Amino acid sequence: MNFMSYVAEVSRGWDEPNARDMGRMTSQPNAKGEMYYLNNDIDMKVKIAAMARRLEELEMTKMQEVQAISQTPLQAMPCAICLSYEHLVEECPTIPAVREMFGDCNTYNSNWRDHPNFSWKPQPP
């Protein structure tokens, strides 16, 4: 049940007082037509009760969503290198072949240190 239908269902009886309330009802000097004013204390209690009910509803729907998410099976991701579902990227058998082909060499060349195109210094025009 969504919140708006709940409020519509509960508020049907708000317009007309029931028989029990008729004896306790006193006339209000500020009442206009059929509209009655609640004092601030009762009004705040009603608002707090409505917010508490709404919070309970939200907690229940969130709990159902969490349970639904936890029941969904996890989907396996393929290895990004060879697109196989049999292993993770770290365990891919093609990694040793790549290391063997290219080696673990250092790519820094000390001769490039003074090259003008690889410098962060501003170049003269």
Q: What is the pLDDT of residues 8-41, one digit of tens each?
A: 777 665 655 555 655 555 555 555 566 666 677 7
Instruction: Confirm whether 14 is domain-assigned.
Output: no
Q: How many domains does the chain have?
A: 2
Confidence of residue 121 (pLDDT cuts 50, 70, 90): confident
Instruction: Confirm whether 124 is domain-assigned.
Output: no
Instruction: Confirm whether 6 is domain-assigned.
Output: no
Whole-number average pLDDT of the chain? 72
Residue 92 has pLDDT above 70, yes or no: yes
Query: Which pTM does this prediction carry?
Result: 0.27
Residue 96, domain extent: 74-106
Rounded to an integer, what distance in angstroms lies between the CA atom of residue 28 and that of residue 38? 10
Q: What percent of the chain has pLDDT over 90?
A: 1
Rounded to an integer, what distance in angstroms lies between the CA atom of residue 41 and that of residue 11? 19
Rounded to an integer, what distance in angstroms lies between the CA atom of residue 58 and that of residue 66? 12
47 and 80 both lie in a single domain: no
Rounded to an integer, what distance in angstroms lies between the CA atom of residue 87 and that of residue 78? 8
Instruction: Confirm whether 125 is domain-assigned.
Output: no
Q: Is 53 exposed, middle or buried (0-12, 13-18, 19+ CB in 10 A)?
A: middle
Instruction: Confirm whether 4 is domain-assigned.
Output: no
Residue with tokens 């993770």: 88
Task: Supply φ then ψ for residue 72, to 5 degrees.
Answer: -75, 135
Rounded to an integer, what distance in angstroms lies between the CA atom of residue 29 and that of residue 34? 12
Name, in order, each residue with C-beta under 8 angstroms of 46's C-beta and a sequence gap of 6 or more: 38
